[in-house]
Amino acid sequence: MTDSQNRPASSVREQFDLNGRVCLITGGAGYLGRQFADALAELNGRPVLIDFLADSLRDASETLGYPSFEADVTDEASLAAVREKVLNELGSIDVLINSAGLTKHGCEVDPERFFATFEETDREVWDAGLKINLTGVMLCCKVFGPPMVKQGKGAIINIGSDIGLISPDQRIYAPDEHGYEGVDFNAPAFYSASKAGVIHLTKHLATLWAAHGVRVNAISPAGVERDHDPAFVKQLASRIPMGRMARESEFKGAVAFLASDASSFVTGHNLVIDGGRTIW
């Protein structure tokens, strides 16, 4: 594809129009994956949900009305099979959002060990976290990136985290002198380490594929408030300049921008969406 064909429209409205582009979303059955899919559909994109949780994927696909494919992001062969199905059935791969990640509920080992202290870190949880959060992103880029390179255009969005940039504030999990009892969870070390890796992998791939018209960016969200302990929310919010946690719909605009031609001269960027937390 020539540079003139890649040139975005001058109208902002047209720049944001995805115009039938096929948009793959790993972790598509998750609550953020669903938000991302809806954002791209609003811009006339064609979301495709990818997840390894068959029941959740079926529910998401039926509820949202988007096509879906079951695959494990750590299994290169299953990803390659999905790539071929998508290309045969939908014709192209234009956008990839790497939203899959290890959660307590998706952990194959005892979930009670998920939030162990660092000193008691379960090696299986650590390995699973790096395998899914970092190696999984690498494999998805390896499998789904080349069709974009071949067509001379594409957008990849990786999901980092604010604590891929800064250390988690351990005080928000521990009891304090004012009566806060603390919470029985924390930010596992694998999560910070894997998200830092995702951010740098994003930069590596951005330089690799820039000349081929494929842009690779990341967003780094802060924590989303979802039925958390109110005292915990208060503790965390006190450390965020905007004074609150994120709402799950507040990342849709960033994804829309980075997936579309509105960001046609943006690559290798990590867009931090944290209410200002990382500037303190």
What residues act catalytically?
A: 191
Determine phi and psi for 196, rounding to 5 degrees. -60, -40
Q: Angle at CA 54, nearest 5°, toward 49 and 59?
A: 65
Can you state the percent helix, strand and coil of the chain, rounding each to 5? Answer: 50, 15, 35
Q: Is there a contact between 251 and 9 (Cβ–Cβ < 8 Å)? A: no
CA–CA distance, 28 with 17 (Å, rounded to integer): 21
What CA–CA distances, in Å, run from 58 to 4, 166, 206? 41, 36, 33
Rounded distance between C-alpha atoms, residue 211 and residue 102, angstroms: 33
- Distance between CA atoms of 145 and 126, rounded to whole angstroms? 27
